[in-house]
């Protein structure tokens, strides 16, 4: 693309390209031309979506449809469990689970004959009915896509498509029509808050950095997404890298920085590739680098790779990692906005936060204010996972209830099981119980019930999960990911983990519960950084809401969910046993005795609770509990 010299030039370019979006935005079928967008996110790519794309284009060529159909990649649709996804425009048809060999079927049936490939349409699990268009899908009905606005709409590898969709217009307006103060004002009044977990008001952060007097300042994009199960930042970078670049430049302009760094984990190769490609395109178009759009403002961006340490999502640790040091947090104050990268004022913002920025600049603060709750404006992307029907990424307005997310968007609990709890905020968050489903989700409400927004992980737990085991699972993660610098996190969380282990092994006491609670509280109070301060949350919240289940473990030595092996007992029912000897034969430690056609008995002292007998019994004579 030629260098874009000024705002008019950009707007002209936008006009010139706008029509390429017509079909995708039209939602009608009175056209002969069709566009097929195939998800090019990591999940779908690993399920061969790129091979599928190749096959589709080949079929299109074979059928001589080059002039009436085109297939290309796009960013994540969010409906990841059902990938690879193919969306057909303009009819808004949404095919799921599409394999490379389905290409001919789609081309033959859909493009040639004009009929839908019924078997590839999504079936609503509650209604057992195929859904004809994306808009009719429950999964999308309550979603509001701002951060993910371009994912599933544009080809992330083409800057032209980004510009066609008003890309870089916000940047142009900021640089050429607004003062840095104006920019900060609009972000402040929009009420945008950090989406990385802390929820600190972005505008305030920018303002603080802008007020610092320094020859050099930096902008850092925190793309060190580390919460297990969360992948919204990756999806944004893969599906809409330009939005992050654009926002970083705007951030630079607002605070007076000319250099930015994207700190991204090396485990995100596709995001890195797309980002590099986007940076190259932006530079060529004069939208990044020296004298952007002849505004006199220069800004450039480098990529720094992280080695996949969870703690490097903490901004001071991230900064030290960029500096080439050990990724280890340092005490605040000083805050990065005051003294960050190489001691210079630094504005660190998360990917999702950034991706909201251009939309806010273009549409205005009051538009953004319309979404969300009183204290938390806009939308939030959640990664829905666990025992839920629709696993994937969802972007919803803040203030939505958990019930809406789980039952309306998520399609309810898998296999009709009962919901037990929802873990939000990943390992730093806490468990929310089924009683709290109607809490309107925002930063404050989640905090008040002992959880947190975090980066937006949302794991659904059903009746088959043991709550102690869940707490242990999360704590194990933070124990391993602790940088080991401060005592409470390094030793305290380890001790907490050991106590949980003791409980799941049936060796815990009621006194242990008290010790754990006290220790957990102290760890929260005394740890150096957010990782340590939040690590006990899963323990504390489960202890609070599932006290009975903990008691069952320590007092009755029972695991009600039947998960904790050491607490399980296998028992052969005298009434049901037919003496077939199958159980005795599969037992790896030969602890089952009994003659043929006589009742068998398990020696509990020897039994290792492997469950082999339970599986082997042909008459369900063996019970566990």
Partner 1 sequence: MGMISVNINGKMVQVPEGTTILEAAKLVNVKIPTLCHLDLHDIKMVNKAASCRVCVVEVEGRKTLAPACATPVFEGMVVKTDTKKSVKARRTVVELLLSDHPKDCLVCEKNLECELQALAAEMGLRHMKYEGELSEFPKDDSSFSIVRDMTKCIMCRRCETMCNEVQTVHVLSGLGRGFDTVVGTAFNLPMFETTCTFCGQCLAVCPTAALAEVNNVPKVWDAINDEKKYVVVQTAPAVRVALGEEFGMEPGTVVTGKMVAALRSIGFDKVFDTDFAADLTIMEEASEFVHRLKHGGKLPILTSCCPGWVKFFEHQFSDMLDIPSSCKSPHEMFGSVAKTYLAEKLGVKPENMTVVSVMPCVAKKYEAARPELGHGGTKDVDIVITTRELARMINEAGISFNHLEDEEFDNPLGESTGASVIFGATGGVIEAALRTAYEWLTEETLENVEFEALRGIEGTKEATININGEDINIAVTHGLGNARNLLERIRRGEAQYHAIEIMACPGGCIGGGGQPYHHGDLEILEKRIAGIYSEDRAKTIRKSHENPMIKKIYEEYLGEPYGEKAHELLHTYYVPRIKM
Binding residue (CB under 8 A) for partner 1 from 486, 513, 543, 567: 486
Query: x/- site string to partner 1, residues 533 to 552, per CB under 8 A?
Result: x-------------------
Cα gap 166→145, rounded to integer Å: 15
* Residue closer to partner 1, measured from CB, 124 or 338: 338
Q: Is 498 in the site for partner 1 (CB under 8 A)?
A: yes
Q: How far is the CB of 447 from partner 1 (least distance, A)?
A: 10
Q: Does 42 bind partner 1 (CB under 8 A)?
A: no
CA 176/CA 219 separation, integer angstroms: 20
CA separation, residue 174 to residues 85, 187, 362, 367 (Å): 36, 12, 10, 17
**Tokens 């996949």, residue?**
308
CB of 514 to partner 1, least distance (A): 12
Residues 329-368 that bind partner 1 (CB under 8 A): 330-331, 333
Contact pattern from residue 390 through residue 419 relative to partner 1, giving x for each residue in contact according to CB under 8 A and a dash for the rest: ------------------------------
Stretch that binds partner 1, among 104-112, 152-160, 519-527, 548-556 (CB under 8 A): 519-527
Give the closest residue to 13 by CA, choosing from 149, 148, 162, 150.
162
Joined together, the tokens standing for residue 210 give 């802008």
Q: What backbone phi and psi angles, to 5 degrees, belong to 199?
A: 75, 25
Name the CA dihedral angle for 409, 372, 350, 229, rounded to a multiple of 10 degrees. Answer: -20
Find the part of the chain contacting partner 1 (CB under 8 A) among 234-242, 274-282, 326-334, 467-475.
326-334
Residue placing its CB nearer to partner 1 in the complex, 180 or 532? 532
Q: Which residues contact 350 (CB under 8 A, 6 or more apart)?
A: 194, 195, 196, 197, 221, 222, 223, 233, 455
Q: Compare residues 187 and 519 and give the one whose CB is closer to partner 1.
A: 519
Q: Segment near partner 1 (CB under 8 A), from 118-126, 176-184, 324-332, 503-511?
A: 324-332
Tell me the closest approach of the beta carbon of residue 325 to partner 1, in angstroms.
9
d(CA 460, CA 414): 10
Q: Which stretch binds partner 1 (CB under 8 A): 76-84, 201-209, 340-348, 487-495?
A: 487-495
Of 59, 92, 169, 328, the one binding partner 1 by CB under 8 A: 328
- Does 509 contact partner 1 by CB under 8 A? no
What's the CA gap between 373 and 444, in Å, rounded?
10
Rounded to whole angstroms, what are the CA distances from 209 to 205, 224, 256, 318? 6, 22, 9, 17
Longest distance between any two alpha carbons in the chain, whole Å: 92
Instruction: Say whether residue 494 binds partner 1 (CB under 8 A).
Output: yes
Cβ distance to partner 1 smaller for residue 15 or 326: 326
Q: Say whether residue 604 binds partner 1 (CB under 8 A).
A: no
Residue 393 or 479: the one with the smaller Cβ distance to partner 1 is 479
Cβ closest to partner 1, residue 92 vs residue 328: 328
Binding footprint of partner 1, residue count (CB under 8 A): 32
> From the CB of 316, what's the least distance to partner 1, in Å?
12
Q: Among 51, 524, 544, 609, which residue interacts with partner 1 (rule: CB under 8 A)?
A: 524
Shortest Cβ distance from residue 590 to partner 1 (Å)?
33
Distance CA 202, CA 194 (A): 6
Sheet of 392-397, strand order? 392-397, 379-386, 457-462, 419-424, 430-433
DSSP-derived pairing of the beta strands 346-350 and 218-223:
parallel
Residues between 455 and 484 that touch partner 1 (CB under 8 A): 479-484
Pairing assessment for the beta strands 259-265 and 123-124 based on DSSP bridges: unpaired
Q: Quick one: which H or E segment has residue 470?
A: helix 467-481
Helices (H) and strands (E) in the chain, counts: 27, 19
Residue window 291-320: x/- pattern of binding to partner 1, with contact defined by CB under 8 A? ------------------x-----------
Taking CB under 8 A as the criterion, the residue among 12, 179, 522, 623 binding partner 1 is 522
Report the relative pairing of strands 259-265 and 379-386 from DSSP bridges: unpaired
Residues that bind partner 1 (CB under 8 A): 309, 326, 328, 330-331, 333, 479-488, 490-492, 494-495, 498, 515, 518-519, 522, 524-528, 533
């Amino acid at each position: 693309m030629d260098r874009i010299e000024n705002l008019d030039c950009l707007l002209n370019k936008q006009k010139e390209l706008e029509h390429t979006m017509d079909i995708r935005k039209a939602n009608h079928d009175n056209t002969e031309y069709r566009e097929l967008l195939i998800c090019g996110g990591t999940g779908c790519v690993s399920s061969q979506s790129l091979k599928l794309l190749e096959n589709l284009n080949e079929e299109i060529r074979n059928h001589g449809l080059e002039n009436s159909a085109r297939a290309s990649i796009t960013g994540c649709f969010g409906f990841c469990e059902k990938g690879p996804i193919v969306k057909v425009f303009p009819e808004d048809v949404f095919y799921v689970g599409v394999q490379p060999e389905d290409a001919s079927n789609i081309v033959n049936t859909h493009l040639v004959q004009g009929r839908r490939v019924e078997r590839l349409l999504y079936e609503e699990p509650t209604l057992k009915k195929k859904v004809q268009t994306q808009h009719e899908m429950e999964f999308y009905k309550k979603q509001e896509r701002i951060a993910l606005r371009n994912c599933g709409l544009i080809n992330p590898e083409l800057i032209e498509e980004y510009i066609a969709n008003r890309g870089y217009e916000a940047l142009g307006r900021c640089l050429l029509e607004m003062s840095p103060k104006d920019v900060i004002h609009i972000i402040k009044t929009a009420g945008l808050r950090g989406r990385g977990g802390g929820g600190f008001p972005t505008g305030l952060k920018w303002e603080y950095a802008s007020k610092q007097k320094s020859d050099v300042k930096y902008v850092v994009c925190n793309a060190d997404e580390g919460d297990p199960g969360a992948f919204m930042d990756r999806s944004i970078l893969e599906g809409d890298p330009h939005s992050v670049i654009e926002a970083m430049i705007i951030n630079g302009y607002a605070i007076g920085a000319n250099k930015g760094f994207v700190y991204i984990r090396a485990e995100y190769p596709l995001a890195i590739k797309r980002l590099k490609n986007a940076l190259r395109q932006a530079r060529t178009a004069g939208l990044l680098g020296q004298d952007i759009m002849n505004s006199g403002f220069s800004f450039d961006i480098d990529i720094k790779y992280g080695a996949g340490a969870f703690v490097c999502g903490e901004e001071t640790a991230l900064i030290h990692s960029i500096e080439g040091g050990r990724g280890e947090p340092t005490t605040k104050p000083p805050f990065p906005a005051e003294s960050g990268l190489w001691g210079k004022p630094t504005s660190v913002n998360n990917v999702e936060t950034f991706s909201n920025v251009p939309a806010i600049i273009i549409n205005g603060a009051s538009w953004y204010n319309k979404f969300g709750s009183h204290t938390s404006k806009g939308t939030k992307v959640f990664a829905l996972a666990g025992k839920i029907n629709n696993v994937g990424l969802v972007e919803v307005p803040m203030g939505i209830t958990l019930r809406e997310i789980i039952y309306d968007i998520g399609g309810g609990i898998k296999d009709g099981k009962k919901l037990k709890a929802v873990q939000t905020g990943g390992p730093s968050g806490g468990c929310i119980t089924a009683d709290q489903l109607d809490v309107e989700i925002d930063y404050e409400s989640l905090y008040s019930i002992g959880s947190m927004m975090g980066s937006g992980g949302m794991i659904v737990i059903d009746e088959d999960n043991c709550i102690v085991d869940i707490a242990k699972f999360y704590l194990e993660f933070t124990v391993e990911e602790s940088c080991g610098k401060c005592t409470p996190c390094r030793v305290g969380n380890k001790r907490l983990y050991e106590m949980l282990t003791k409980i799941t092994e049936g060796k815990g006491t009621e006194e242990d519960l008290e010790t754990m609670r006290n220790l957990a509280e102290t760890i929260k109070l005394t740890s150096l950084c957010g990782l340590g301060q939040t690590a006990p949350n899963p323990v504390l919240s489960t202890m609070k809401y599932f006290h009975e289940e903990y008691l069952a473990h320590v007092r009755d030595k029972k695991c009600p969910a039947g998960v904790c092996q050491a607490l399980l007992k296998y028992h052969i029912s005298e009434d049901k046993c037919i003496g077939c000897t199958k159980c005795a034969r599969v037992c790896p430690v030969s602890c089952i005795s009994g003659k043929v056609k006589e009742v068998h008995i398990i020696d509990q002292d020897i039994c290792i609770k492997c469950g082999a007998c339970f599986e082997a019994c042909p008459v369900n004579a063996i019970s566990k509990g």
